[in-house]
Amino acid sequence: MLVAGVDSSTQGTKIVVRRADTGEPVRAAQAPHPDGTEIDPRHWWEALLGACGDGMLEGVAAIGVAAQQHGMVALDADGAVVRPALLWNDTRSAGAARDLVAELGGPQAWARAVGSVPVASLTVTKLRWLAEHEPANAARVERVLLPHDWLTWRLTGGGGAEALTDRGDASGTGYYSPADGAYRPDLLRAAFGRDLAVPRVAAPSESAGPVRAAGLPAIGTVSVGTGDNMAAALGLGAGPGDVVVSLGTSGTAFAVAEEPTFDASGLVTGFADATGRFLPLVCTLNAARVIDAGARMLGVDLAEFGRLALEAPPGAGGLTLLPYLDGERTPNLPDAAGRLDGLTRANLTPPAIARAFVEGMLCGLADAVDALTAQGVPVRRVLLIGGAARSAAVRAVAPQVLGRPVVVPEPGEYVADGAARQAAWALAGTPEPPEWGGTAAAEVYEADPVPGVRERYAEVRAGLTGAA
């Protein structure tokens, strides 16, 4: 029997088809999304239909959707999308985040209420922004969904079909408490000014019903879906002591945990996972696209950029990149810009620049891993995934910057795999998801740590923020 998993992430939709019992890969496809931090959700739907073409879903008995977290999909009374979805990396609601934090009594109050301190990424801040800046649109909104909620609902027919979500994705809204397993309608109301309908939070292995969407085959089971990071943890079979570092559009570091976290510093967001546990997570806005931007600037492709980076010595001859090219979320600097520091005539070379870009991006993630350990998350091994983990230079430099060996599972679509594993779970109806072999085929990258790289980075960051 076959199952399918969909990853509708920032830059594109990926779909994998696997055997339900063993997880053996059968076929895969992808379709790109348009660029931008606000997107009409119909583009995600069209990409999903595109990736599902060519008989991709033939023989598939269950399908699950994982998607980029936090995006605000605002629907009117008829279920129509009111305005393009504001995505997780859209920073226009930074002021709303500051206001909401102050109104509830500060970061500690938010961390206690929902496990996370709102920053512009969280859905609750986008609702406040909408209420304040687009009152006519806000007046039409009756219901708010997340990207994966909306796609799952469309798969099950849309219209009158029940909209569902899961603990994992709900935990990124800012109006759901993962520790209590309950919505906080008071916080949603305080943000938006009135109540809105939200999707029911289904159990991790629940079925949302059969596929009832025009243009798709009749598949008996649509699993409830989840956020992309929760799905990656499920796809990897991450267990206690595993810290996953994902280098996609976002850079994330996260771990599956038995207990919730409540970090009032705001660095660690206390999310839930897709199995009934928790997923403390740190997210940066600047990961794979820092490498893309560096390669574009040097006029080379990604392979050549990586080759150049490995030509330069660790530390890039004193060149340090603070990679806040899209502003930053962790640390919370939505209006920041990047900095290239320490330029000399000797290091103003393509290899040193490429090296500084790779190191700067990884320093942001090294800080993320430190923030997790500060919350008591154990680190037995670091797993490196996401688009930029395909870069040989990133894989080689990661252990130097992170200061520990890095396990790189075989390149794959772990978010889509997690969605497929959830679909297999919904089909099986067992208490735990089916065993799929996890990260058996992984390569370990080791290198001597180069602490000076992070020390220089911390100095440059302190120069920007005034904090060490």
CB-nearer residue toward ligand 5SP: 120 or 352: 120
| Shortest distance (Å) from residue 70 CB to ligand 5SP | 5
Joined together, the tokens standing for residue 402 give: 């992170």
Residue 455 identity: E
Return the DSSP state at 10: S
CB 208 within 8 A of CB 202: yes
Is 148 marked within a binding site? no
C-alpha span between 112 and 145 (Å, rounded): 24
Closest C-alpha among 121, 119, 209 to residue 160: 209
Active-site residue (options: 149, 166, 169, 228):
228
User: 415 vs 159, 160, 225, 373, 397, CA distance in Å?
Assistant: 27, 29, 11, 24, 24
Residue type, 215: G
Q: Does 226 bind ligand ADP (CB under 6 A)?
A: no
Choose between 66 and 423: whose C-beta lies nearer to ligand ADP.
66
Closest CA to 226 of 29, 423, 32, 81: 423
Q: Which two tokens stand for residue 235?
A: 């796809």
Active site residue 228: yes
Nearer to ligand ADP by Cβ, of 191 and 288: the residue is: 288
Please report the beta strands in 150-291, taking only residues with DSSP state E, as ranges in sequence order: 164-165, 176-177, 182-183, 200-201, 207-209, 221-223, 226-227, 242-247, 251-254, 269-272, 278-284
Among 6, 10, 131, 242, binds ligand ADP (CB under 6 A): 10
Among 148, 154, 289, 355, binds ligand ADP (CB under 6 A): 289
Q: Which of residues 71, 168, 248, 331 is near ligand ADP by CB under 6 A? A: 248
Which of 221, 223, 249, 269 lies at the binding interface for ligand ADP (CB under 6 A)? 249
CB of 198 to ligand 5SP, least distance (A): 18
Binding site for ligand 5SP (CB under 6 A): 9-10, 68-70, 88, 121, 172, 227-229, 248-250, 252, 281, 283
Of 123, 205, 391, 439, which one interacts with ligand ADP (CB under 6 A)? 391
Least spacing, CB of residue 222 vs ligand 5SP, in Å = 20
Give yes or no for residue 173 binding ligand ADP (CB under 6 A).
no
- Cα separation, 301 vs 452, whole angstroms: 28
Asked if 323 and 361 touch (Cβ cutoff 8 Å), the reply is yes
Q: Determine the distance from the C-alpha atom of residue 368 to the mean position of all C-alpha atoms in its chain, rounded to a whole number.
A: 14
- When asked if residue 11 is in the footprint of ligand ADP (CB under 6 A), the reply is yes
Residue 387 interface partner, choices ligand 5SP, ligand ADP, none, CB cut-off 5-8 Å depending on type: ligand ADP
Q: Check if the beta carbon of residue 439 is closer than 8 Å to that of residue 237.
A: yes
Query: Given the rule CB under 6 A, which residues bind ligand ADP?
Result: 9-12, 248-249, 288-289, 291-292, 302, 386-388, 390-391
Binding residues for substrate: 69-70
Residues known to be catalytic: 228
